[in-house]
Structure 1
Amino acid sequence: MPQMSVGFAMMLLVVGNLIAVCSDAMIKSLGEDTAIFQFVFFRQLTSVLILAPFCFTTKRADFFAGFKWHALRGHIWLLGMVFMVISITSLPLATANAIFYAAPLIMLPLAMILFQEKLSKYSVGAAVIGFMGVLVIIRPTEINWAAIAALVVAFTLAWNNLLVRKLPRHQTVAQTLMLTNLAGMPAALALAVWEGQPWDFTPFWTAAGSSAFILIYAGACVLAYRAAESNKIASAEYSGLIGAVVLGMVWFDEIPDLPMILGTVMIILPLVWLAQKEKRAKKKAAAYQQNPTVSAEAVEES
């Protein structure tokens, strides 16, 4: 895979998160009597159907390479989807998404433990300020079981993004996503049967649309987190909150209040600042390569 810049990886995450909000909006449009596990199974099934044409044209004999990691990600992804449906249908769209964006902060200590990534003070600072913005939005006094479900989603997103590093690099994005969904389908079907609700295929097309949007987001994550260290780009995940606020207003008449606006500013501004720091650091590093007499401290600042 060609090497991409940190800036381009961050842009991928920004676009992916804005598209993912459309998937969330489709989930929120479901009726309260929708069977959750059936819908999740439809999400898995439609994802596999969408991805199949892009995968079966490959002639690689090692299509199932690294399947144990795909299986782990698939079941984490399944868990996240179940709690995502619960939280999105119970909370305002922007509030649920704000909690989802705790994932970048969760990724920082996990990346340090699992991959010995070095955390710069700038990436830590941006993530902490962003998470403070999340707290301003949700207000601790309003935390309930739906908010806890959203926090579970944040943990599953963090784990899944970090586990991308364990996947075979020769596999295409479509193969990666298909194997992840395929691995989780037996468990999803078992949960749907255990749920005991009469099968209702009415939400099938909603699941298909939601799958299409979320696959674009997941593909962007695979590309971005393969290309750059997570601590340098994870703050870009916060950008989808703007889309959640706008869609919540337009689609569900959810008018943001002052804490929502303040928290959003606290989330977005560190992201912009971090991108500028990275850009300046790259310029200094390039200058040092051309002229080694440049201060090493200037090069290492990132």
Structure 2
Amino acid sequence: MSNKSVGYAMLLLIVGNLIAVFSDALIKTLGDGVAVFQFVFFRQLTAVIILLPFCAKSSLPELTSGLKWHALRAHIWLFGAVFMVFAINSMPLATANAIFYAAPLIMLPLAFVFFREKLSKQSVLTGVIGFIGVLVVIRPTHIDWAAISALVVALTLAGNNLLIRKLPTHQTVAQTLLLTNLVGMPASFGLALWEGEAWNWAPLLTAAGSSFFILIYAATCVVAYRSVESNKIASAEYSGLLGAVLVGIVWFGEMPEIEMLIGAALIILPLLLLAKVEQKQKRARKKEVQDVVEMSLESDFSLATDPTVER
């Protein structure tokens, strides 16, 4: 873990999630007729092209370090990307994103089980209230394939973010993202061939734009989750829902209902409260350390000036 603050890590995630909404919006412009596996392959291909200049001077040992973890993340990411395309094209943008943001809540028990992270009452409460907000937004009266796909995306996002902790810390963000896409390309190419659709290069530019925005989001996740325990900042992922609402209104004319606004409030307000609590606790710990140091110095000074103490 680095010394970056909780507030800094949360700010990174907020910015990253707001930017990621534009990636989802570009995917939604494709409509239902897109060849899904082919498009996912195009996303990975364009991502590799974007990242290669930033990794041109990387040595082979640098790129092969922790390869098994990169391979695991790559195929989880690929799995989630396929379901993401289906979910985004099958429901309103804000609704799909609301389900995606179940990922922070999923991360809490996963972090506890696999990384033995201690869960504070505040982080658990924030996650639970946030998830209630998600339920208010989607009002699940029945489960369809679109909702199931969105939940699969949430699960893959949670797993990918937690696995960042297993990656070599000496690798740059660009190297990490390059490997995530490069290692998964054989599988995505094979799926595109298995799909059997005629190759259509028209969506390539859309794939490039989607890759660009999602790479920024992925980069913020790598930096943030390497810096701070995930349970302290995972709720910042919810912030992108506001961006999804706004983009849905402006770009696709998807007007949110009152339930959407109530749910968004339940998601965002606990996030702000958690940030305030963490900041207060950090100040208290800092003051406690200072008090201990001051008491120690005073004790040393008293011993040094006491004439009855033998030297």
TM-score, length of structure 2 as denominator length? 0.93
Matched, 1:125 2:118: no
Secondary structure of the equivalent of 1:61?
helix
Secondary structure of the equivalent of 1:62?
helix
Q: CA deviation at 1:162?
A: 0.2
Q: CA deviation at 1:32?
A: 1.8
Q: Which residue of 2 aligns with 1:242?
A: 242
Q: CA deviation at 1:166?
A: 0.5
**Superposed CA offset, 1:123-165 (max 9, x none):** 0000000000000011120532101100000000000000001
Q: Which residue of 1 aligns with 2:176?
A: 176
Q: Which amino acid aligns with 2:14?
A: V
**Superposed CA offset, 1:20-73 (max 9, x none):** 000000000003211000000000100100000001123463321010000000
Alpha-carbon separation, structure 1, partners of 2:126 and 2:60: 41
Alpha-carbon separation, structure 1, partners of 2:80 and 2:155: 8
Matched, 1:36 2:33: no
Alpha-carbon separation, structure 2, partners of 1:46 and 1:116: 37
Alpha-carbon separation, structure 1, partners of 2:274 and 2:78: 32
**Superposed CA offset, 1:157-195 (max 9, x none):** 000000001100000000000001111100000000000
Alpha-carbon separation, structure 1, partners of 2:178 and 2:290: 44
Alpha-carbon separation, structure 1, partners of 2:122 and 2:63: 39
Q: Which residue of 1 aligns with 2:63?
A: 63
| C-alpha contact (below 8 Å) 2:51/2:178 kept by paired residues | yes
Alpha-carbon separation, structure 2, partners of 1:62 and 1:147: 39
Alpha-carbon separation, structure 2, partners of 1:293 and 1:48: 51
Alpha-carbon separation, structure 2, partners of 1:265 and 1:46: 36
Alpha-carbon separation, structure 2, partners of 1:277 and 1:87: 35
Alpha-carbon separation, structure 1, partners of 2:195 and 2:36: 8
Q: Which residue of 2 aligns with 1:95?
A: 95
| C-alpha contact (below 8 Å) 2:2/2:228 kept by paired residues | no
**Superposed CA offset, 1:260-279 (max 9, x none):** 00000000000000000011
- Stretches of structure 1 lacking an aligned partner (at least 5 in a row): 295-302
Q: Give the RMSD, CA atoms, in angstroms.
A: 1.3
Alpha-carbon separation, structure 2, partners of 1:87 and 1:129: 24
Alpha-carbon separation, structure 2, partners of 1:263 and 1:5: 28
- Stretches of structure 2 lacking an aligned partner (at least 5 in a row): 295-311
Alpha-carbon separation, structure 1, partners of 2:158 and 2:14: 16
Q: Which amino acid aligns with 1:95?
A: T
Alpha-carbon separation, structure 1, partners of 2:37 and 2:251: 25
Q: Which residue of 1 aligns with 2:254?
A: 254
Identity of aligned residues (%): 65
Alpha-carbon separation, structure 2, partners of 1:130 and 1:62: 39
Alpha-carbon separation, structure 1, partners of 2:275 and 2:185: 38
Secondary structure of the equivalent of 2:9?
helix
Q: Which amino acid aligns with 1:203?
A: P
| C-alpha contact (below 8 Å) 2:99/2:150 kept by paired residues | yes
Q: Which amino acid aligns with 1:245?
A: V
Alpha-carbon separation, structure 2, partners of 1:192 and 1:260: 36
| C-alpha contact (below 8 Å) 2:55/2:174 kept by paired residues | yes
User: What pairs with 1:114-193 in structure 2 (closer than 5 Å)?
Assistant: 114-193=114-193
Aligned residues: 294
| C-alpha contact (below 8 Å) 2:2/2:226 kept by paired residues | no
User: What pairs with 1:18-29 in structure 2 (closer than 5 Å)?
Assistant: 18-29=18-29
